[in-house]
Amino acid sequence: MSTTILFTIISLSAIGAGAAIILYFVAQKFKVYEDPRIDQVEEALPAANCGGCGYPGCRGFAEALVKADDISDLYCPVGGNETMGAVAKILGKEVEAKEPLVAVVRCSGSPEHRKRVNEYDGASSCAISSALYAGETNCQYGCLGLGDCVEVCDFDAIYMDEETGLPVVVDDNCTACGACVKACPNDIIELRKKNKKDRKIFVSCVNQDKGGIARKACKVACIGCGKCVKVCPFDAITMENYLAYIDPNKCKLCRKCVTECPTGAILEINFPPRKVKEEKKDAAKEKKAEVSDKKENDSSTQNK
Amino acid sequence: MLKTFTKGGVHPAESKYSADSAIEKLPLPKTVSIPVAQHIGVPSKPVVKKGDKVKVGDIIAESAGFVSANIHSSVSGTVSKIDNVLDSTGYKKPSVIIDVEGDEWNEDIEQSTDLKKEISLTDKEIVQKINQSGIVGLGGATFPSHVKLSVPEGKKIDVLIINGVECEPYLTSDHRLMLEKAEEMLVGIQILMKALSVNRAIIGIENNKPDAIEYLSGLIKNYPGIEVQELKVKYPQGGEKQLIKALINREVPSGGLPLDVGAVVHNVGTAYAVYEAIQKNKPLFERVVTVTGQSVKKPSNFMVRIGTPVNDLIEAAGGLPEDTGKVINGGPMMGKALNDLDVPVAKGTSGILILPDEMAARKPENNCIRCAKCVSVCPQGLEPYLLNKLTQLEKNDILEQNGVMDCIECGSCAFTCPAGLPLLDYIRLGKSRVSRILRSRKQ
């Protein structure tokens, strides 16, 4: 009996040792060299794997970062300047600090402003709906309200407001990865500069119809009147296809355009209330109040 | 046993209410809006401007490429504006809007209805004339006809197939055309045969139209080379790949064209339009449109000028029924619901179908139960449940491998799905994504 056990142990150990020796040499022969910095860089990245950098996941981005000589074109929107600084330190390369961005929804067409003229009962996807027709309202540019942007967000940074039927971005969660921008078939969502205290001024409309048609379809549409272009002291506003656009790089957040806009299509967000009170500005203020109310509600629900 | 295609297929209720209504001329509308994109391919370029006087048959938009088509005025009057107007795509598209004044035709058009049998033009001239006349496939796909007739070198065509199947339920425009304009259509087929230099043409007709089969079988004795083939009723037999399989038992390869198996398919409506263009010098500015539905007072077939608002057609058919749930442009299987009744009739509008409330809603959506009914009905041999899922997961490469581009969008899968899944909607989305990738790969 004992010899059988002994024989088994010896023979198995011999096979094991032999295999180990062979494997050692095989591993030496087929060794793949991998830059150890890739692992280090990957560690520094946020591991969100969102694809916001344009590479397949954080590992892919880390490889690209290590490979590239000049990494100033590569940027991780989720980690932001902090992460990129850490990466640069590991690699001994230089990066420029970039202005943080945040997604904004450029449509205010809630049911009270934008009447529903037909009913869509097809598959619940903006991409499918937009391939079929212009949507439930007379505005063929605005939000379709089926939530493709919410579906693709990895950070819980966007949700559909049940009352307005429009997506709302939670600024604190938004990492500006751009997934929602790509998902929106109507190009409503835009990445804009975050600015101090999350203050933003933007044209919340993408309607390129002539004024009359746009206004008929939606009360808060940009009608292309050009008043904002005239009033802007920094030449930040351009008018194309009856639609105003505020260049975030030129805009100095002076808010002159907001008061000038006759339809209230230009939104100001996170600004303190104005000191001078004039009746004319009531409309714009109500809007602002609404927005700030909503913000408070958001934060309170989150706290819960 | 009657001929038909082998793979898949469904048999929806036929409901051909308007089969016995003769084609009526619809009174002229007050204004027409003629979209410049009524065909597959590049939209045409408008050549008229505001205030121009046009006559019936005058060219108002020129073809802007090889795969494109001229567009002619369907009425006489003044161009009131060129503007974006909602059309059957569901979007506002550039259109020429004309205020109708009288009914003055271009002098070149021969207005008599005498049958003219002699074909004086050569094959090249025929193709050129068809191109100028703005003829597109009138079965619904609106592919410019001259492209199909320009056979690339090295390809040999030996048979012309004429599609008189009309497999879509409800629609009867082709059926009526075969009964009322049969001789013209047959001459049109001869013209097409000459253009393609083939000496054999087969007209495929499903056997739910026995009158048309009988009538045409009698007439073809005077037209050598043309045959009539009775087919078993099965949807989507009107798809060109299915029709080729059914009639001459050849299979168009994946990603290929009927040209690859030596066949060219044209619709009976197109054959009639070709006759009018070649023999009567009349460009394509009117077509037969069926207006039908379960509760429609007077299901009819109208000869309609392109650009007429759909509303006019519905009024002429007895008005919009009270229980209307949906108005569909086209047939119930492949047609598309309209969101506005002022959209104009275009070259591809074969019918206006008015569905009552109870038939309009979609089936409630449930989970896929893996019954594989969609697989068994797919006429292209695809796996719709899989393509659906892959699209939802955005696995575009696997979608491509699974032949999503071979889908003919017939809707048999969604029609048969017991779980009511919007299979076709997702497959279409996947198809558009993959085709975008294929295009960018080519560049």
Q: Are residues A181 and A274 in the same domain?
A: yes
Q: Which long-range contacts (CB under 8 A, 24 or more apart) does A270-278 make?
A: A270/A197, A270/A198, A270/A199, A270/A200, A270/A295, A271/A199
Q: Which of A117, A128, A134 sits opposite B91 (nearest CB)?
A: A134
Burial A187-197 (b: 16+ CB within 10 A, else e): ebbbbbbbbee
Q: What is the pLDDT of residue A303?
A: 40
Q: What is the CATH number of the domain that holds A50?
A: 1.10.15
Domain count, chain A: 2
pLDDT band, residue A288 (cuts 50/70/90): low
Q: What is the pLDDT of residue B80?
A: 94
Domain borders along chain B are 26-109+283-359, 123-280, 373-442
Q: Is residue A119 over pLDDT 90?
A: no
Give the percent of chain B with pLDDT over 70.
Answer: 100
Q: Is residue A291 part of a domain?
A: yes
Mean pLDDT of A184-211: 91
Which of B82, B329, B339 is best to mutate for the A interface (most A CBs within 10 A)? B339
Q: What angle do CA B349, B381, B156 make, to 5 degrees?
A: 70
Q: Is residue A29 part of a domain?
A: no
**C-beta atoms of B426 and A128 within 8 A:** yes
pLDDT tens-place string over residues A212-254: 899 999 999 999 999 999 999 999 999 999 999 999 889 988 8
- Which of A118-122, A292-296, B417-421 tops mean pLDDT? B417-421
Q: Are residues A141 and A224 in the same domain?
A: yes
Q: Is residue A290 over pLDDT 80?
A: no
For residue A158, count other CB atoms closer than 10 A to its CB: 23
**C-beta atoms of B432 and A209 within 8 A:** no
Q: Are residues A182 and A294 in the same domain?
A: yes
pLDDT tens-place string over residues B387-402: 999 999 999 999 999 9
**C-beta atoms of A125 and B339 within 8 A:** no
Mean pLDDT of B321-345: 92
Q: Which residue in the block uniquely carries the two structure tokens 């355009």?
A: A257
Q: Are residues A220 and A149 in the same domain?
A: yes
Q: What is the pLDDT of residue A286?
A: 52
Instruction: Give the chain B residue whose CA is nearest to the CA of A137.
Output: B339
d(CA A270, CA B314): 53
**C-beta atoms of A134 and B90 within 8 A:** yes
d(CA A53, CA A45): 11
Q: What is the pLDDT of residue A296?
A: 47
Greatest extent of chain A over all pairs of C-alpha atoms, in Å: 105
Q: What is the pLDDT of residue A53?
A: 87
pLDDT band, residue A302 (cuts 50/70/90): very low
* Boundary of a domain, candidates A60, A91, A122: A91
- Which of A20-24, A130-134, A170-174, A195-199 tops mean pLDDT? A20-24
Q: Which amino acid is at A155?
A: F
Q: Are residues A177 and A116 in the same domain?
A: yes
Q: Are residues A158 and A45 in the same domain?
A: no
Q: Are residues A187 and A87 in the same domain?
A: no
Q: Are residues A154 and A261 in the same domain?
A: yes
pLDDT band, residue A197 (cuts 50/70/90): confident
Neighboring chain B residues of A132 at a CB cutoff of 8 Å: 90, 336, 425
Q: Which of A121, A131, A140 sits opposite B429 (nearest CB)?
A: A131
Name every residue in A having a CB less than 8 A away from some CB of B.
117-118, 121-123, 125, 127-128, 131-134, 140, 209
Neighboring chain B residues of A133 at a CB cutoff of 8 Å: 89-91, 336, 339
Q: Is residue A23 part of a domain?
A: no
Q: Are residues A270 and A168 in the same domain?
A: yes
- CATH code of B123-280, in short, is 3.40.50.11540
Q: Are residues A42 and A160 in the same domain?
A: no
d(CA B241, CA B237): 8
Q: Are residues A134 and A239 in the same domain?
A: yes
d(CA A111, CA B4): 51
Determine the 3-state secondary structure of B138 from DSSP. Answer: coil
Mean pLDDT of B43-57: 93
pLDDT band, residue A299 (cuts 50/70/90): very low
- Residue ranges making up the domain that contains A76: 36-91
Q: Are residues A252 and A119 in the same domain?
A: yes
Name residues whose C-beta falls within 8 Å of residue B436's C-beta, 6 or more positions apart in sequence: none
**C-beta atoms of A123 and B428 within 8 A:** no
> Is the separation of the CB atoms in A200 and A215 below 8 Å?
no
Q: Is residue A10 part of a domain?
A: no
Q: Is residue A5 part of a domain?
A: no
Strands in chain A per DSSP E: 101-105, 158-160, 167-169, 189-193, 200-203, 237-240, 243-246, 266-269
Q: Is the CATH number of domain B26-109+283-359 3.40.50.620?
A: no
Element (H, E) at A3: helix A2-29
* Boundary of a domain, candidates A66, A91, A116: A91
